[in-house]
Chain A
């Protein structure tokens, strides 16, 4: 049978839907998370309770929200180590301004504004001055956390002025049995999945991560794009910071410590490639979910929490190794 040139060009990939799904790292991670959930429901009678599921979904939402921002940065070929510091800065700003009597909407705007400022400075130093993202955001991690200490004078904040109850409701409450952080995550995930795939901005993020030189030569505004990417990452951290204050009911300055590592782990387990150009919103969410399920299951199974790091660490390496093996076998 001969095919004409037009037919050959018209053909999409020669693979079935199933083999395409199976070639994606996030599919296997999702499978692992689903199997873990099923196994836990059978083995323990505490996992599948409403209370526990509520906790699991709420806890993972914070990491997942920031992991979406982190995936964007990683897809553009960068890294953002300052997200944990942005979380605490945003939390302190929202706490301190509300304590001073500002209404919640104003306090939230200040908090997001502070986080966006962090992202803007990161972005300018990386995109315009041309410094490596690792160094810039490492410095910012230290700087922003220090600012949070200065602003709060390292005192715990637990009185949030006139809108106290609203803040606790936003971060700790639920609607139709769904915790609010999870609702925030779902909205963000839907919007960003759309943005990644269907907007020019999304295309350009992946183009920059794939080949920055090519992006520059084809006239993509690479500098502006990079600044916006770091600001988006800081924005997700700022939102998570506000939600975490509402959930905890207080602000302490150790909030979000080492969170950047969990977030990067979630993104990488979900298929984000640290070399740039790859990553999905769904992957970030599933990666965060898997980490939380591992954490939760160890507690429920009565295994010492000292083992958590070993399990999560193994998972990061297995997930990426899986990807390598698949590529070596030439399926990609």
Chain B
């Protein structure tokens, strides 16, 4: 499996506070990495560095073997790194298709004007939902959708931009059990398409259900980075709390 994303010795400090210390990780194409850790362990900081919100104080990030230095989230997006935010960044008052295409609406010529091409947007969004095997109707308002469908809309957005790496921040935190299964399926669909997924979650069963690898952060240090099948929820809990020092 080709290596997609490689971090070497990434550190971040804010003044005297070391938020991340010498983190090295590598994730392959079509792999799902579960990133775990207690609040304040540095998960968000790491995600923000990968997504270009922060610049690392030290270390190197390589995407498909090329060293990258993102100054702005737009740089990361252009390179193929997308975030699905915890609050999903959806407009409740718009349709699913409009949300998928938000900010990059398709247009067609209409006399001298360029008008929004709803027909094409509905069709393409429908295709994306079909790929994700999600029963989401492009013409429905997001306001009326279930948590799982809302995730599908947010994830369809990343498909549209041909993302290489998708970072998901607590996608299963605030939804029902049935919808969690739906979201985990969506993650598997992304993986099947060769997209690398980094899943940040507090929910142990979800991480174990979809991840190929698990990485655990504690107080800014990477204390574990191993295949999911070689680990167990008990071990990860121990690593998160510090009962087990490293694995």
Asked whether, in the complex, the Cβ of B130 is within 8 Å of the Cβ of A9, the reply is yes
Q: List 26 A-B contacts (CB under 8 A).
A: A5-B130, A6-B130, A8-B135, A9-B129, A9-B136, A12-B137, A13-B137, A13-B140, A198-B110, A200-B107, A200-B116, A202-B116, A203-B94, A203-B98, A206-B94, A207-B94, A211-B89, A211-B90, A211-B91, A213-B87, A214-B88, A214-B91, A214-B99, A218-B89, A220-B103, A277-B92
- Give the Cβ gap from A11 to chain B, nearest Cβ, in Å: 6
Asked whether, in the complex, the Cβ of A206 is within 8 Å of the Cβ of B91, the reply is yes
Q: Mark A244-278, 1 if CB is under 8 A from B, else 0.
A: 00000000000000000000000000000000011
Beta-carbon contacts under 8 Å, A1-17 to B? 5-6, 8-13
The distance in angstroms between the C-alpha atoms of A211 and B103, with both chains bound, is 13
The interface residues of chain A, by DSSP majority, are classed as helix
Q: Choose one: A5, A8, A210; the contact of B94 (CB below 8 Å).
A: A210
Asked whether, in the complex, the Cβ of B137 is within 8 Å of the Cβ of A219, the reply is no
The distance in angstroms between the C-alpha atoms of A326 and B102, with both chains bound, is 28
Instruction: Considering the complex, give the chain A residue whose CB is closest to the CB of B115.
Output: A198
When distances are taken between beta carbons in the complex, the residues of chain A under 8 Å from B107 are 200
Query: Interface size (B, Cβ < 8 Å)?
Result: 34
Q: Does B37 contact A (CB under 8 A)?
A: no
Asked, given contacts A200-B116, A203-B116, A214-B102, whether A9 binds B93 with beta carbons under 8 Å apart, the answer is no
When distances are taken between beta carbons in the complex, the residues of chain A under 8 Å from B144 are 332
The distance in angstroms between the C-alpha atoms of A203 and B74, with both chains bound, is 22
When distances are taken between beta carbons in the complex, the residues of chain A under 8 Å from B140 are 13
The distance in angstroms between the C-alpha atoms of A278 and B93, with both chains bound, is 7
The distance in angstroms between the C-alpha atoms of A10 and B98, with both chains bound, is 15
The distance in angstroms between the C-alpha atoms of A6 and B137, with both chains bound, is 10
The distance in angstroms between the C-alpha atoms of A209 and B176, with both chains bound, is 28
Q: Does A124 contact B (CB under 8 A)?
A: no
Q: Does B54 contact A (CB under 8 A)?
A: no
Q: Choose one: A199, A218, A332; the contact of B116 (CB below 8 Å).
A: A199
Asked whether, in the complex, the Cβ of B92 is within 8 Å of the Cβ of A8, the reply is no
The distance in angstroms between the C-alpha atoms of A204 and B130, with both chains bound, is 26
Instruction: Considering the complex, give the chain A residue whose CB is closest to the CB of B87.
Output: A213
Asked whether, in the complex, the Cβ of B133 is within 8 Å of the Cβ of A210, the reply is no
Q: Does B208 contact A (CB under 8 A)?
A: no
Q: Does A217 contact B (CB under 8 A)?
A: yes
Q: Choose one: B103, B139, B143; the contact of A215 (CB below 8 Å).
A: B103
When distances are taken between beta carbons in the complex, the residues of chain A under 8 Å from B148 are none
The distance in angstroms between the C-alpha atoms of A148 and B93, with both chains bound, is 39
Q: Mark B91-116, 1 if CB is under 8 A from A, else 0.
A: 11110001100111101001001011
Asked, given contacts A206-B93, A277-B93, whether A9 binds B103 with beta carbons under 8 Å apart, the answer is no
Beta-carbon contacts under 8 Å, B147-166 to A? 157
When distances are taken between beta carbons in the complex, the residues of chain A under 8 Å from B143 are 332
Instruction: Considering the complex, give the chain A residue whose CB is closest to the CB of B90.
Output: A214
When distances are taken between beta carbons in the complex, the residues of chain B under 8 Å from A10 are 126, 137
Asked whether, in the complex, the Cβ of B135 is within 8 Å of the Cβ of A210, the reply is no
Asked whether, in the complex, the Cβ of B91 is within 8 Å of the Cβ of A210, the reply is yes
When distances are taken between beta carbons in the complex, the residues of chain B under 8 Å from A220 are 102-103
When distances are taken between beta carbons in the complex, the residues of chain B under 8 Å from A214 are 88-91, 99, 102
Q: Does B85 contact A (CB under 8 A)?
A: yes
The distance in angstroms between the C-alpha atoms of A213 and B86, with both chains bound, is 12
When distances are taken between beta carbons in the complex, the residues of chain B under 8 Å from A209 are 93
Asked whether, in the complex, the Cβ of A5 is within 8 Å of the Cβ of B135, the reply is yes
Apart from A213-B89, A218-B89, A277-B93, what 4 extra A-B contacts exist at CB < 8 Å? A199-B116, A207-B103, A218-B157, A278-B93
When distances are taken between beta carbons in the complex, the residues of chain B under 8 Å from A211 are 89-92
- Give the Cβ gap from A170 to chain B, nearest Cβ, in Å: 28
Residue with the highest number of chain A CB atoms closer than 10 Å, among B85, B104, B115, B136 = B115
- Give the Cβ gap from A78 to chain B, nearest Cβ, in Å: 15
The distance in angstroms between the C-alpha atoms of A210 and B126, with both chains bound, is 22
When distances are taken between beta carbons in the complex, the residues of chain B under 8 Å from A199 are 113, 115-116
Instruction: Considering the complex, give the chain A residue whose CB is closest to the CB of B116.
Output: A198
- Give the Cβ gap from B30 to chain A, nearest Cβ, in Å: 23
